[in-house]
Amino acid sequence: MSIGVKRVAAVLACAAGLMLGACGGAATEDAQGAPVATQESAIIVGGSEVSQVYYSDSTYTVQVGWALTKCDGTYKLEGYRTQYVRTAVYHC
């Protein structure tokens, strides 16, 4: 598989995960049942798209938030950030 095909597959997998976790369903709630916050702002990235998924603990099984910084510099955070994070970086 070429690098370009791998990159497209990785981006699609990441996008699908974000969509399944954050779009089209009921409002996301934290462990206590309270609605989670949404934040959107613009930042300068420098030619990279960064996807981060945050988890409740070191088992990385319960997703509690995600953040996406797009190539155009926009940033979106849903849920909340923790020290347990998985990050993927894609070049624009």
Residue-wise pLDDT tens digits, 3-35: 443 454 454 455 445 444 444 443 444 455 545
The answer on pLDDT for 39 being more than 70 is no
Return all residues near 64 (Cβ < 8 A) that are at least 6 apart: 30, 31, 36, 54, 55, 56, 79, 80, 82
The pLDDT tens digits of the residues spanning 80-89 come to 999 999 999 9
What does pTM read for this prediction?
0.51
Residue 63's alpha-carbon distances to 12, 27, 60, in angstroms, are: 19, 14, 7
Contact 65, 71 (CB under 8 A): no
